[in-house]
């Protein structure tokens, strides 16, 4: 006959010890799971460095390495990448597609790049510092939808990291860089100057009326 525990109301003592061991084991397992999860969060890599043995702290995020801006110029969209020092873009990996309904786009027109023998893609032309592409477009919706393009591009770091193929949906005028020599207060200044000129003309006209001799 199994010994019983007087405090537990007749439950066998061996059962109590087994239950306590099971609960302790469960707590240890839960603690291990929490530690493993925290460790996984700590060592998780950014998506753009997965599959690489390089330290992500040695490389810029893709949006910093390849800064993309765009604006419309008539029936063209001008795309411009500013490329960080030590990074380059592949000419052959730049592609533009229509994202808006009823929008037709031409293949991007790109300048010649610098030829290299790339460790990842072999013989390629690449861009460093900056590059601009022109994309012709035609809208069949007569402006009913916002103008949106999907741009694909890929580049690498000279230090040894090749980024995956990047894609970004853009609204060209929303990404337009500020025009040089056209500060934001310029329209306000023009309107203010026009109002001052009109007010001065009205005051001068009123003064002339006051100086006229009585009939």
Residues 6+ away with beta carbon under 8 Å from 61 = 46, 48
37 and 63 co-located in one domain: no
Give the per-residue pLDDT at 20: 40
Q: DSSP E strands: which ranges in the chain?
A: 66-73, 76-83, 87-90, 95-98, 103-105, 114-118, 122-127, 130-139, 149-153, 155-157, 166-170
31 and 73 co-located in one domain: no
Could you tell me if residue 9 is inside a domain? yes
65 and 138 co-located in one domain: yes
pLDDT tens-digit profile, the chain (215 residues): 444 444 444 445 455 444 444 444 555 544 444 444 444 434 455 644 555 555 556 799 999 999 999 999 999 999 999 999 999 999 999 999 999 999 999 999 999 999 999 887 889 999 999 999 999 999 998 888 889 999 999 999 998 899 999 999 999 876 555 555 544 444 444 555 555 555 555 555 665 554 545 54
Structure tokens at 203: 């005051």
Give the per-residue pLDDT at 168: 94
39 and 135 co-located in one domain: no
- What three-state secondary structure class fits 182? coil
166 and 109 co-located in one domain: yes
Give the per-residue pLDDT at 68: 95
What's the number of domains the chain is made of? 2
88 and 124 co-located in one domain: yes
65 and 169 co-located in one domain: yes
Alpha carbons 133 and 116: distance in angstroms, whole number? 20
Give the per-residue pLDDT at 51: 53
Give the per-residue pLDDT at 213: 52
DSSP 92: G
Give the per-residue pLDDT at 134: 97
Could you tell me if residue 193 is inside a domain? no
16 and 97 co-located in one domain: no
167 and 65 co-located in one domain: yes
24 and 73 co-located in one domain: no
Residues 6+ away with beta carbon under 8 Å from 156 = 87, 88, 90, 118, 120, 162, 163
Give the per-residue pLDDT at 188: 44
Could you tell me if residue 105 is inside a domain? yes
For the entire predicted model, the pTM comes to 0.59
96 and 128 co-located in one domain: yes
CATH number at residue 118: 2.60.40.1250
Alpha carbons 107 and 95: distance in angstroms, whole number? 7
Structure tokens at 77: 């969209």
Its sign, for the CA torsion 144, 150, 151, 156, is positive
126 and 150 co-located in one domain: yes
Of the candidates 163, 165, 168, 164, the residue with the CA atom closest to the CA atom of residue 59: 163
Alpha carbons 109 and 113: distance in angstroms, whole number? 12
Could you tell me if residue 71 is inside a domain? yes
Give the per-residue pLDDT at 36: 40
Alpha carbons 68 and 131: distance in angstroms, whole number? 10
Residues 6+ away with beta carbon under 8 Å from 48 = 56, 61, 62, 163, 164
Of the candidates 88, 51, 50, the residue with the CA atom closest to the CA atom of residue 66: 88
Structure tokens at 188: 């306000």
Could you tell me if residue 170 is inside a domain? yes
Domain with 131, as residue range(s), is: 57-175
Give the per-residue pLDDT at 38: 41
Could you tell me if residue 120 is inside a domain? yes
Structure tokens at 169: 């949906």
Could you tell me if residue 12 is inside a domain? yes
């Amino acid at each position: 006959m199994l010994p019983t525990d007087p405090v537990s109301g007749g439950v066998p003592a061996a059962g109590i010890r087994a239950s306590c061991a099971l609960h302790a084991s469960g707590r240890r397992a839960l603690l291990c799971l929490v530690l493993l999860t925290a460790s996984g969060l700590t060592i998780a890599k950014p998506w753009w460095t997965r599959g690489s043995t390089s330290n992500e702290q040695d490389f810029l995020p893709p949006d910093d390495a390849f800064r993309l801006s765009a604006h419309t110029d008539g029936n063209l969209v001008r795309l411009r990448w500013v490329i960080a020092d030590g990074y380059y873009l592949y000419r052959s990996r730049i592609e533009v597609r229509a994202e808006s309904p009823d929008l037709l786009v031409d293949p991007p027109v790109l300048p010649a790049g610098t030829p290299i023998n790339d460790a990842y893609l072999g013989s390629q032309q690449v861009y460093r510092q900056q590059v601009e592409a022109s994309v012709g477009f035609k809208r069949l919706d007569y402006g009913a939808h916002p103008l949106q393009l999907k741009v694909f591009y890929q580049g690498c770091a000279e230090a040894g990291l090749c980024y995956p193929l990047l894609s970004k949906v853009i609204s060209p005028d929303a990404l337009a860089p500020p025009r040089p020599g056209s500060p934001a207060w310029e329209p306000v200044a023009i309107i203010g100057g026009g109002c001052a000129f009109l007010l001065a003309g009205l005051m001068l006209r009123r003064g002339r009326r006051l100086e006229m001799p009585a009939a």
